[in-house]
Amino acid sequence: MFRFFKRLLLGRPTMTDDDEDDDESGEWVEDHDHLPPYTPSLPEGMRVYAIGDIHGRADLLRQLHGMIRADWADLPGSVRRVVIYLGDYVDRGEDSKGVIDILLDEPLTGCETIYLKGNHEAEMEDFLVNPVGGHGWPQYGGMAMALSYQVRVPGRISADERMRELRDRLLEAMPATHQAFFTGLRFRHEIGDYFFCHAGVRPGVPLNRQTPPDLLWIRDPFLFYPGRFEKMIVHGHTVMATPMTTSNRISIDTGAYHSGHLTCLVLEGESQRFLMT
């Protein structure tokens, strides 16, 4: 517990109770260790909005969408607008269903939209396929999602029966459009000098060979790597008190579900700035 608060106060990454420690394997890219600092950029005539972990806070998502609309209101029509969501739409917060409703029924318009997958969506999908293989997802925020779909299960049955019942009732309650949304999520996206993913990347592995487990789950080997990657990495997953920019990554998970601060990174040319609820 002391380690958690020390990291938070120092602006260091904090761990959450649903994520196991990552192993320290993976080679560092020695050729990148001593490269001079550089300023990443986007192609001319483009603005990108990257949104961090939402975790069931439909209220904050709606507020942030309003801020984005106001931010781009004066953009010329010729400017390409791209919105990238970094995953973890569901769990923990009280309105996971409302988040997906907003994304599908009240989306930002006049822009390209990229939806990436987070580890919580991956855990949910695993649970829906094999509910008795492990009960981790309901314990680590999944029950909040189920409740947002008005799903409840009786308590006077075995644990395995409860998990099967929870899976069956959730699939029955979840609209087909929501199920299609989850199955259509992507693991990564690249624009200009930026690489977007949920958690981070494995040092020593080219960006085009990164694996889903690392893109969804990695922590320390990525967070404490001092060298350069092929591109600037934009990620969420690890809660920070405020957005953090380092020489090789930009972290924008500000713990919206408990802090009330949902963060959006705004990129244009060489500029980087933030919008926060």
Q: In the chain, what are the domain boundaries?
A: 44-123+183-276
CA distance 182 to 118: 10
Taking the C-alpha atoms of residue 117 and residue 267, their distance in angstroms, rounded to an integer, is 21
**Domain 44-123+183-276 adopts which CATH fold?**
Purple Acid Phosphatase; chain A, domain 2 (3.60.21)
**Which of the two residues, 17 and 200, has the higher pLDDT score?**
200
More confident residue, 243 or 152: 243
At 133 the pLDDT is: 76
How do 80-85 and 46-51 pair as beta strands?
parallel
- Predicted local confidence at residue 135, as pLDDT: 66
Question: What predicted TM-score, i.e. pTM, was given to this entire model?
Answer: 0.87
What pLDDT shows up at residue 134?
A: 61
Q: Tell me which amino acid residue 126 is.
A: D
Which ranges of the chain does DSSP label H, i.e. alpha helix? Answer: 2-9, 58-71, 96-105, 119-129, 136-137, 143-148, 159-173, 176-183, 212-217, 220-223, 256-259
CA distances from 133 to 23, 136, 139, 235 (A): 23, 9, 14, 29
- What per-residue confidence (pLDDT) applies to 62? 98
Q: In this predicted structure, which of 2-16, 112-126, 133-147, 171-185 has the lowest mean pLDDT? A: 2-16
Encode pLDDT of 28-50 as tens digits: 333 444 556 679 999 999 999 99
For the chain, how are helix, strand and coil distributed in percent, rounded to 5?
35, 20, 45
State pLDDT tens for residues 167-223.
999 999 999 999 999 999 999 999 999 999 999 999 999 999 999 999 999 999 999
Phi, psi at 190, each rounded to 5° = -125, 135
CA-closest candidate to residue 88, choices 236, 260, 244: 236
Q: Is the pLDDT of residue 25 over 80?
A: no
Taking CA 51 as the corner, what is the angle to CA 50 and CA 56, rounded to the nearest 5 degrees? 165
Most confident of 7-21, 49-63, 126-140: 49-63
> Pseudo-torsion of CA 150, 253, 20, 98, nearest 10°?
10
Q: Which residue has the tokens 């924008």?
A: 252
102-124 tens-digit pLDDT: 999 999 999 999 999 999 999 99
What's the rounded mean pLDDT across residues 138-164?
90
Average pLDDT over residues 134-140: 80
User: Where is pLDDT greater, at 4 or 227?
Assistant: 227
Per-residue pLDDT, 246: 95
C-alpha dihedral (163, 152, 85, 253), degrees to nearest 10? -80
CA 9 → CA 2, 5, 199, distances in Å?
11, 6, 21
* 107 Cβ neighbours under 8 A, 6+ residues apart: 113
Q: Tokens for 184?
A: 């259509």
For the chain, the straight-line distance linking the first and the last C-alpha, in angstroms and rounded, comes to: 27
CB 225 within 8 A of CB 10: no
